[in-house]
């Protein structure tokens, strides 16, 4: 149906946008650095507004094919409980062949502001060899801290890191109330030769429903687990270790579930380039003991089982995008038909200039639910997912396609009415 009012609004919006474009086009020379280095910063965790303000002597372009320097930023958890940020600089066009890699490791005591400053300083240092060959080189000053002194660093904790967290939550309405507690303890010690991780978690929730006749029904759900991982490095490609897991959980019908799984892993690529590329093959085999809350469909109250698992994981981050895919298969030795196959992945691709595709998905074939309760589930148990339900598959995913066009430059910072420049904050968000 033809709507004159809507057509007029669209026409007015086009006129307004055209006027804005004309004004920006006239003032465009104010936002571009003539002769400055053109960079593409591929970073999902950077505060881009802060970066543009602190490094104003380059041109930020929106397409990797327009950039003279492509900078890929990757992140990995470090042994201290912080993160290791890897900045990979790749020269293009006149800088082809001029490549470099710089890293920065944060620690858990650093604030987000301190991390942001250190990462930006690292980016500045990495850009200097390229900026030195541009007309803006004369505008750059290099300084150092006059109080800088050499001192020996002594780690009194010997690489041990402890983290304790508690997260209580509560909400209530006239006919419904819920209280939820999540507590966790993490202990790690990570060196280049040895990796130890201990994770203790507990989730407890109580939900109460009040009906019109005054009847009250309370549902409880508990999930507590202990996970210990020990890994020994064996060269640039091999590692060996074991994982021990203990849990008690009402949903999957475990009064106690214990697993001990020795494992060996081979990475086709050297572990030293793990921030950019991995193809890991991990095989584990071990013992599982299960003591069930209720009798299972197989009329069991406990099980002693032997099982095996094979996982293949591929990860890569390059200028064309990133891929993270894993395929896992497992079964029980006493009955090979009791098995499971899981596929998980995320793919982000730059297809052509301005066009990118992101796909996130997971799928599983499930035929190993030895823990299922005998008997029918109530409607509340189904809806509130209080007890695990029988299924032979699960699947989920999402897809997004993004296309941007217009000016190749993206230098301006304008925080009014929230940030629109990649530093957080949406429309009418005040940060």
Q: What is residue 397's predicted lDDT score, i.e. its pLDDT?
A: 93
How much is the CA Rg of the chain, to the nearest whole Å?
A: 28
How many angstroms separate the Cα of 360 from the Cα of each of 45, 148, 323, 351, 366?
19, 47, 10, 16, 20
User: Do the beta carbons of residue 204 and residue 221 sit within 8 Å?
Assistant: yes
| Dist. CA 397–CA 346, nearest whole Å | 9
Where do the domains of the chain lie, and which CATH numbers do they carry?
33-139 (3.30.160), 160-403 (2.40.160)
When the pLDDT of each residue in the chain is averaged and rounded to a whole number, the result is 82
Digit-coded pLDDT (tens) for 352-386: 777 888 899 999 999 999 999 887 777 666 666 66
Answer yes or no: is pLDDT of 413 > 60: no
Answer yes or no: is pLDDT of 341 > 90: yes
Answer yes or no: is pLDDT of 10 > 70: no
How many angstroms separate the Cα of 416 from the Cα of each of 164, 338, 413?
38, 58, 9
Give the number of C-alpha atoms closer than 13 A to the C-alpha of residue 320, restricted to the C-beta side. Answer: 4
Q: pLDDT band at residue 129, thresholds of 50, 70 and 90?
A: confident
Digit-coded pLDDT (tens) for 74-111: 888 776 677 888 899 999 999 998 898 888 888 777 77
Q: What is residue 237's predicted lDDT score, i.e. its pLDDT?
A: 93
Alpha helices in 184-280 (DSSP H): none
| Dist. CA 89–CA 43, nearest whole Å | 12
Q: Which range among 58-67, 193-202, 231-240, 381-390 shows the weakest confidence by mean pLDDT? A: 381-390
Both tokens assigned to 307 = 């099982």
Q: Alpha carbon 128 to chain centroid distance?
A: 30
Digit-coded pLDDT (tens) for 13-59: 555 554 554 444 444 444 556 778 888 988 888 888 788 888 888 88
Answer yes or no: is pLDDT of 116 > 90: no
| Dist. CA 68–CA 37, nearest whole Å | 7
Q: Which range among 204-208, 287-291, 380-384 shows the weakest confidence by mean pLDDT? A: 380-384
Q: pLDDT band at residue 428, thresholds of 50, 70 and 90?
A: very low
349, 284, 272, 347: which is closest to 312 by C-alpha?
284
DSSP string covering 11-74: HHHHHHHHHHHHHHHHHGGGTS-TTPEEEEEE-SSS-HHHHHHH-TTEEEBS-GGG-SEEEEEE
Q: Which range among 88-92, 294-298, 423-427 shows the weakest confidence by mean pLDDT? A: 423-427
> Which DSSP category does 193 fall into?
S
Q: What is residue 56's predicted lDDT score, i.e. its pLDDT?
A: 84
Q: pLDDT band at residue 299, thresholds of 50, 70 and 90?
A: very high
State the greatest distance between any 2 C-alpha atoms of the chain, in Å, as a whole number.
Answer: 81
Q: pLDDT band at residue 331, thresholds of 50, 70 and 90?
A: very high
User: Do the beta carbons of residue 245 and residue 270 sit within 8 Å?
Assistant: no
Digit-coded pLDDT (tens) for 133-192: 888 777 777 776 666 555 555 667 787 888 899 988 888 887 788 898 899 999 988 888
Once rounded to an integer, what is the mean pLDDT over residues 211-238? 88
Statement: the pTM of the whole predicted model exceeds 0.85? no
Answer yes or no: is pLDDT of 388 > 70: yes
The number of beta carbons lying within 10 Å of the beta carbon of residue 413 is: 17
User: Do the beta carbons of residue 292 and residue 387 sit within 8 Å?
Assistant: no
> Which DSSP category does 378 fall into?
P
């Amino acid at each position: 149906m033809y709507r004159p009012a809507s057509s007029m609004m669209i026409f007015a919006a086009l006129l307004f946008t055209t006027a804005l474009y004309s004004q920006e086009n006239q003032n465009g020379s104010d936002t571009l650095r003539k002769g400055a280095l053109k960079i593409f910063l591929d970073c999902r965790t950077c505060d881009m507004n802060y970066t543009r303000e602190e490094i104003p002597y380059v041109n930020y372009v929106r397409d990797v094919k327009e950039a003279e320097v492509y900078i890929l930023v990757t992140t990995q958890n470090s042994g201290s409980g912080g993160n290791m940020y890897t900045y990979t600089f790749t020269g293009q066009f006149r800088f082809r062949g001029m490549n470099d890699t710089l890293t920065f490791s944060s620690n858990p005591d650093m604030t987000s502001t301190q991390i942001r400053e250190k990462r930006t300083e690292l980016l500045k240092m990495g850009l200097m060899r390229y900026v030195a060959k541009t007309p803006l080189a004369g505008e750059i000053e290099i300084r150092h801290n006059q109080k800088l002194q050499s001192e020996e660093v002594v780690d009194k904790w010997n690489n041990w890191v402890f983290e304790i967290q508690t997260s209580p939550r509560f909400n209530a309405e006239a006919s419904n109330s819920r209280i939820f507690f999540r507590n966790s303890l993490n202990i790690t010690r990570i060196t280049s030769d040895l990796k130890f991780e201990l994770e203790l978690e507990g989730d407890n929730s109580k939900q109460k429903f009040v009906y019109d006749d005054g009847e009250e029904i309370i549902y409880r759900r508990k999930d507590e687990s202990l996970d210990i991982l020990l890994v020994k490095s064996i060269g640039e490609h091999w590692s060996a270790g074991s994982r021990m897991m203990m849990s008690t959980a009402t949903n999957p019908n475990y009064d106690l579930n214990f697993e001990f799984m020795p494992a060996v892993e081979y990475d086709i690529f050297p572990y030293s380039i793990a921030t950019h590329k991995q193809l890991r093959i991990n095989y584990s085999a071990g013992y599982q003991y299960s003591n069930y809350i209720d009798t299972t469909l197989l009329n069991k109250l406990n099980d002693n089982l032997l099982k095996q698992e094979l996982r293949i994981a591929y990860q890569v981050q390059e200028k064309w995008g990133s891929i993270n895919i894993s395929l896992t298969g497992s079964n029980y030795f006493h009955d090979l038909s009791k098995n499971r196959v899981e596929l998980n992945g995320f793919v982000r691709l730059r297809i052509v200039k301005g066009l990118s595709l992101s796909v996130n998905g997971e799928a599983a074939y499930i035929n190993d639910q030895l823990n299922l309760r005998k008997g029918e589930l109530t409607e509340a148990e189904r809806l509130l997912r209080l007890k695990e339900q029988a299924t032979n598959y699960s699947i989920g995913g999402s897809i997004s396609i993004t296309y941007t066009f217009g000016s190749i430059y993206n230098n301006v910072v304008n925080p009014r009415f929230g940030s629109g420049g990649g530093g957080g904050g949406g429309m009418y968000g005040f940060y």
